[in-house]
Amino acid sequence: MFDFRYHALSLAAVLVALIIGVLLGAAIGDQEVISSANKRLRDGLQENVRTERAESDRLRAELALRRRFEESIFPTLVAERLDRRRVALVFAGPRNDAISTAVRDAIGPAGGELAFASELRPVLDVEGIATAAAGTQYERLAEDPTLADDLGRRIGVQLIQGGSGRLVRALRNEIFASSSGEIQGAEAAVIVRTPPPEGDSEVTMAFLDGLIAGLQSFDVPVVGVEETSTEPSQIPFYIERDLASVDNVDETSGRASLVLALAGSADGAYGTKRTADALLPDSLTRVPAP
């Protein structure tokens, strides 16, 4: 009986050992399979990364070539379109140096001149304006904010008219946070609206609307611009006020659109955003009739 139990236990131990061996062997085999699969996956991913990097380098080189081409033909496309025209640049909000440079880079090759550049104060200083405008109806601006629209119109008119623009000269420090150039009149204007985070006050908004209306009263081109990265986009603001607009003034195509709009040869919304009517004005791409 003892021998039978001994043999039975021995057989059971052998069977258990065999089962454990099979399981261990399978586990080891699975690990090898998994390791092999991981290696193939890793090698595949590395090859994909190399392929994508090569494609990215190719596209980057093509983009750089396209930009060089655009920049090289830009002066020819816009040559003399703004022959000796004086352009006023008005920032309705914080000044953006990149946009200022883009505007200069657009009008310079076209033969134009950035005659006056300014940054409106984010909040209209009604008290300061009332004091500086003593002897005029605007000395009551603090008590009667409805005068803001009319004041804006007068300032817009005098920016274009120049000459005897006494009011804008008298209120220059109260209206503009910064300005450069002389107020000697202009044949076109560029508006850049970048509203402050807290939003425009009603008085400031009324003044800006009046200013735009004043600029437009001489039937000169007035164009609203922004960069491709501007958020939120101000193109709807420009469209509501019947302004031509360019939403990609930081790109060569946008600068070309700006020149055409300032020359009076385009009055739509141009650029790459959903609000654009076209990338470029028809007057730039149209083939002359034989």
- Statement to judge: residues 117 and 250 lie in one domain: yes
Span between the terminal Cα atoms of the chain, in Å: 119
Of the three residues 53, 78, 103, the one that is the final residue of a domain is 78
Residue 290 lies in a domain: no
As a whole-number percent, the residues of the chain with pLDDT over 90 amount to 57
- Here the tokens at position 48 are 């994909």
Of the three residues 78, 95, 126, the one that is the final residue of a domain is 78
Region 226-246: mean pLDDT is 96
- Statement to judge: residues 151 and 260 lie in one domain: yes
Cα atoms found within 13 Å of the Cα of residue 75, Cβ hemisphere only = 4
Residue 246 lies in a domain: yes
- Statement to judge: residues 70 and 204 lie in one domain: no
Residue 238 lies in a domain: yes
Higher pLDDT, 1 or 96: 96
- Statement to judge: residues 18 and 96 lie in one domain: no
Question: How many whole angstroms separate alpha carbon 254 and alpha carbon 53?
Answer: 30
Question: How many whole angstroms separate alpha carbon 169 and alpha carbon 175?
Answer: 10
Residue 202 lies in a domain: yes
Separation of CA 214 from chain center? 26
- Statement to judge: residues 67 and 108 lie in one domain: no
Q: What are phi and psi of 90, to 5 degrees?
A: -125, 120
Confidence band for 1, pLDDT divided at 50, 70 and 90:
very low
- Statement to judge: residues 138 and 198 lie in one domain: yes
Question: How many whole angstroms separate alpha carbon 268 and alpha carbon 290?
Answer: 26
- What's the confidence (pLDDT) of residue 288? 45
Higher pLDDT, 8 or 258: 258
**Residue 252: domain span:** 80-285
Separation of CA 202 from chain center? 25
- Statement to judge: residues 41 and 140 lie in one domain: no
Of the three residues 24, 59, 78, the one that is the final residue of a domain is 78
Kindly report, residue by residue over 170-211, the tens digit of the pLDDT. Answer: 999 999 999 999 888 999 999 999 877 676 688 999 999 999
Region 217-238: mean pLDDT is 95
- Statement to judge: residues 188 and 171 lie in one domain: yes
- What's the confidence (pLDDT) of residue 32? 56
Nearest to 247 by CA among 264, 271, 218, 267: 271
- Statement to judge: residues 58 and 104 lie in one domain: no
Query: Across 64-122, where does the E strand assignment appear?
Result: 86-92, 113-120
- Statement to judge: residues 4 and 60 lie in one domain: yes
> Is pLDDT at 91 greater than 80 in this prediction?
yes
- Statement to judge: residues 50 and 181 lie in one domain: no
Q: What are phi and psi of 80, to 5 degrees?
A: 65, 10
- What's the confidence (pLDDT) of residue 271? 96
- What's the confidence (pLDDT) of residue 107? 96
Whole-model pTM: value is 0.77
Q: Of how many residues is the chain composed? A: 290
Region 90-119: mean pLDDT is 95
- In eight-state DSSP terms, residue 142 is T
CA distances from 194 to 21, 91, 155, 174, 225 (A): 75, 7, 20, 19, 10
Number of domains in the chain: 2
Residue 192 lies in a domain: yes
Separation of CA 159 from chain center? 26
- What's the confidence (pLDDT) of residue 200? 67
As a whole-number percent, the residues of the chain with pLDDT over 70 amount to 79
The CATH number that applies at residue 169 is 3.40.50
Contacts of 218 (CB under 8 A, 6+ apart): 157, 160, 161
Residue 239 lies in a domain: yes
Q: Are 227 and 99 in contact (CB under 8 A)?
A: yes
- Statement to judge: residues 127 and 205 lie in one domain: yes
